Structure 1
């Protein structure tokens, strides 16, 4: 990475997935060369937490979070608040989740998904770490459960890979939560989604890849990787009428504010 390359963060990727094989050294190096100086890799099944933790321990730019993905909630043992609080003691564990609701593929497990989501909310409240939320075709229940939890005790949250409707965006933003922009926002047919982001406060926007999924143009249809965060960031900069350097700096400040534990680790390293 040259000194002139603006720094950005991939706030959500899955570096433990088999798509990356034995290429992690190269993947992380390409990310850093593209200005992606931090990555948060997400554990979606707690039985895989040791592997995900190992990746964060092996690579200085990588942090991690863990939870039970909503699409796996019916297949996995129900996580407990104590489980998540114990994991959060690791210095590079920086978020709770991903959790959430997915009624597109797994509507039949809606009840167990909602119970799991509430456990993750309680863990975010207990640890002070941000909740990382996956939402698909569940806008009404999602808005209700997030708000109910927040009324009981405030917590921080990012709506990861946000691609839901304007109503859920507004509900999340009204609670002080963040919206994360993935490669979906860069797809040509995503104008409605770009409009939702453009209407959001600039200080509430994060960047992510969700790698290995959802590669932005010009890599669409191929394996995504953290380096491609830069392509989505350029779309975001255009959306907010900023040059790339200014938009990158703002998203870095946003990440540091929400993921304060990662920001502190960077300063101490």
Structure 2
């Protein structure tokens, strides 16, 4: 029996052409990818995301606003209301992104705390985006008692010490195509030592296309490249890595229910 494969973080709705979502899904299913988490970056696209999940039983979704999002900034109650849709299995993506350089990111930190509170109120795990902000991300998770919420650090790129602290909080770590990049040797070293039963794999489609597809719009089908790379680093089979990360997905997101047929 073929192992289960899950792309734990993708954005079908951000592909260049709107009709590309169905094509990318069909392509990924043909490549053996079984389930997908189509992650929200704003509230304006909520109906489109939940509608896509309603049409495709193996595509789950979330509710939240990206840390760099410039659209509506929902309250805790508004986030919880969006999360009531049966296809929503998580709050996010949320977190911190300091990619714009030095500045005042207090508003991002406030938004992050609000999403953690919404996760607690909705009884859902959170999807955490952390770019160039490991210390503040960890501090806020600790201050807000996020271990009671749980979730995943998407596109994990930090060092082993940060990984341990996040794992100690009960979070899963998700590895993306960055793992395959030529300049990611430090991340590969860290990934080789991470516990497989706490890892997820993702594409972050349409971003971060893995080797050998660099420079192209990323596709959920290419999550297999991440699995292959991780398997080599952990001296394990791709089948075992795929199956374990799939099992981890359903443990991380309890509201996600696998299909029985």
2:141 pairs with one of 110, 122, 146: 146
Q: How far did 1:76 drift?
A: 3.2
Change (3 A) 1:107 1:122: farther
Question: Are 2:171 and 1:177 equivalent residues in the alignment?
Answer: yes
Contact 2:202 2:223 in 1 (8 A): yes
Q: Write the distance in 2 (CA, Å) between the matches of 1:147 and 1:51.
A: 33
1:23 pairs with 20, 35, 41, which one?
A: 20
Q: CA offsets, 1:121-167, max 9 Å, x none?
A: 1111122211101101111111100011127x711120001123334
Distance 2:104 2:19 in 1: 34
Any unmatched runs of 5+ in structure 1?
Answer: none
* Alpha-carbon offset, residue 188 of structure 1: 2.3
TM-score of the pair, normalised by structure 2: 0.94
Unaligned runs of 5+ in 2: none
CA shift digits 1:204-245 (9 cap, x unpaired):
100100000011111111010110001111111111111111
Which residue in 2 is equivalent to 1:95?
A: 90
Residue equivalent to 1:51 = 48
**Alpha-carbon distance in 2 for matches of 1:230, 1:26:** 18
Counterpart Cα distance in 1 of 2:61 and 2:68: 20
- In the TM superposition, residue 267 of structure 1 has moved relative to its aligned partner by 4.2
What is the 5 A alignment of 1:201-240? 201-240=195-234
Contact map agreement 1:162 1:180 (CA 8 A) in 2: yes
- Measure the CA separation in 2 of the matches of 1:65 and 1:175: 21
* Whole-angstrom CA distance in 1 between matches of 2:134 and 2:182: 24
Give me the CA root mean square deviation.
1.7
4+ aligned runs moved over 4 Å, structure 1: none
Distance 1:114 1:21, change over 3 A: same
Whole-Å separation in 1 of the counterparts to 2:228 and 2:113:
35
Cα distance in 1 between the residues matched to 2:223 and 2:131: 22
SS of alignment partner, residue 13 of structure 2: coil
The structure with the largest helix share of the pair is 1
Contact 1:65–1:95 under 8 Å retained in 2:
yes
Aligned counterpart in structure 2 of residue 61 of structure 1, from 53, 58, 63: 58
Which residue is equivalent to 2:100? 105
Q: Is the 8 A contact 1:7 1:249 kept in 2?
A: yes
Contact 2:151 2:253 in 1 (8 A): no
Equivalent of residue 11 in structure 2, options 1, 10, 14: 14
**CA displacement 1:56-100 (0-9 Å, x = unmatched):** 11222211012111112xx33332121121122111101110000
Deviation, structure 1 residue 20: 4.0
Q: Do the aligned residues in 2 keep the contact of 1:202 with 1:250 (CA within 8 Å)? A: yes
Length, aligned pairs only = 261
